[in-house]
């Protein structure tokens, strides 16, 4: 086999769509790290549970470690105590205000499925609404359009907020690979959400698509969606990967949440190589380094320095 033939087999996947928020554009040379900061006392990962003072310190640390966006959450994604709209606003909006005042260079996202929370966050200066429940509140994307914000279009397979999957299945049109059913459903769902956002006036470069690993999915589904990131990249919107310490990583390696960093970073590297643009992460410094290295390997950015063999 010739060198050219081998190179053809090892071709670099598509670079993925650029992300644009608050007038800033992030291309393939700058993969985006979205740091997780939860104002929830019952987050699945104990190290990401912060009170007010802890949240402020976590934001400052995330910025120092290389985060581009901080994603603030006020309600645990899974089952747990009821958190009403007023309590969710009280948990996250003051943090948005302080981030905007203290760290004007940092982009701010709020992880919510509720339009009233999104409106309050918009008043406080948020840049992105991370709707992890696939448009459960149809007014949420309208808030993004009205206020000039970005929006994340996700997939849950029809699951309602704060519910766990149970024996979920996605019929496939590909007889050779039953797991393609989840890819087909994800593509249909996020593409419909993205198109609605654009029709309402959201900047297409501020519309992110997220296959939403573990939400409405088995471990097999989530693993397969990492393999199939190029299909999502081909949709033409920036692709968000929320892989950090999730159950599919733990089940793949039979590890608890505190031991899932290496598995998370492996999945992150594969998704980044395949053209995903934004990565939601608990471990900012490690994620930043992995993404920057993948960008160098892809040829999307130059090494920070390259003197070996030259001096």
Cα–Cα dist 191/186, whole Å: 8
Question: CA-to-CA distance for 185 and 195, rounded, in angstroms?
Answer: 15
User: Which among 75, 35, 6 is positioned nearest to 291, based on CA atoms?
Assistant: 35
- Residue 284 CA to residue 55 CA, distance in Å, equals 15
| The token pair that represents 29 in the structure block | 């040379």
pLDDT score, position 295: 98
**Three-state DSSP class for residue 128:** strand
pLDDT of residue 9: 47
Residues β-bridged to residue 209: 153, 239
Can you give the pLDDT at residue 78?
Answer: 84
Where in 167-226 does DSSP place strands (E)?
207-209
Short-list 207, 88, 69, CA closest to 145: 207
Q: What is the dihedral of CA 96, 102, 104, 108, to 10 degrees?
A: -20
Integer-rounded Cα radius of gyration of the chain: 19
pLDDT at 10: 60
The pTM score is 0.94
Per-residue pLDDT for the chain (311 aa), expressed as one digit of tens each?
454 444 444 688 989 999 999 999 999 999 999 999 999 988 889 888 899 889 999 999 999 999 999 999 999 988 888 999 999 999 999 999 999 999 999 999 999 999 999 999 999 999 999 999 999 999 999 999 999 999 999 999 999 898 988 899 999 998 889 999 999 999 999 999 999 999 999 999 999 999 999 999 999 999 999 999 999 999 999 999 999 999 999 999 999 999 999 999 999 999 999 999 999 999 999 999 999 999 999 999 999 999 999 98
Q: What pLDDT, on a 0 to 100 scale, did the predictor assign at position 29? A: 97
pLDDT given at position 7 = 45
Which of helix, strand or coil describes residue 19?
A: strand
pLDDT of residue 229: 98
pLDDT at 46: 84
Amino acid 215: pLDDT = 96
Whole-angstrom distance, CA of residue 35 vs CA of residue 67: 6
Task: For the chain, give the number of residues.
Answer: 311
**Token digits of residue 113:** 């499925």
Give the strand order in the sheet containing 32-38.
207-209, 150-153, 128-130, 107-111, 69-73, 32-38, 278-281, 240-242
Does the domain formed by 26-298 have CATH 3.20.20.20? yes
Residue 83, Cα to own-chain centre: how many angstroms? 23
């Amino acid at each position: 086999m010739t060198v050219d033939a081998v190179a053809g087999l090892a071709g670099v996947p598509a670079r993925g769509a650029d992300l644009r928020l608050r007038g800033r554009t992030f291309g393939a040379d700058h993969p985006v790290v979205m740091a997780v900061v939860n104002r929830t006392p019952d987050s699945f990962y104990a190290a990401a549970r912060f009170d007010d003072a802890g949240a402020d310190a976590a934001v400052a640390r995330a910025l120092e470690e290389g985060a581009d966006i901080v994603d603030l959450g006020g309600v645990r994604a899974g089952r747990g105590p009821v958190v009403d709209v007023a309590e969710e606003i009280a948990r996250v909006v003051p943090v948005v205000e302080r981030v905007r005042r203290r760290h004007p260079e940092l982009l701010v996202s709020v992880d919510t499925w509720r339009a009233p929370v999104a409106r309050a966050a918009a008043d406080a200066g948020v840049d992105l609404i991370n709707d992890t429940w696939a448009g459960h509140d149809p007014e949420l994307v309208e808030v993004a359009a009205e206020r000039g914000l970005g929006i994340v279009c996700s997939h849950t397979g029809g699951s309602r907020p704060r519910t766990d999957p149970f024996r979920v299945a996605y019929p496939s049109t590909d007889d050779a690979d039953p797991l393609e059913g989840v890819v087909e459903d994800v593509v249909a769902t996020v593409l419909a959400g993205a198109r609605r956002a654009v029709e309402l006036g959201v900047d297409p470069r501020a519309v992110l698509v997220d296959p939403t690993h573990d939400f409405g999915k088995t471990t097999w589904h989530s693993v397969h969606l990492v393999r199939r990131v190029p299909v999502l990249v081909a949709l033409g919107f920036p692709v968000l990967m929320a892989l950090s310490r999730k159950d599919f990583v733990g089940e793949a390696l039979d590890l608890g949440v505190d031991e899932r960093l290496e598995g998370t970073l492996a999945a992150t590297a594969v998704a980044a190589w395949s053209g995903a643009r934004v990565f939601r992460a608990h471990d900012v410094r490690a994620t930043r380094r992995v993404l920057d290295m993948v960008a160098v390997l892809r040829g999307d950015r130059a090494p920070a320095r390259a003197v070996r063999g030259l001096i």
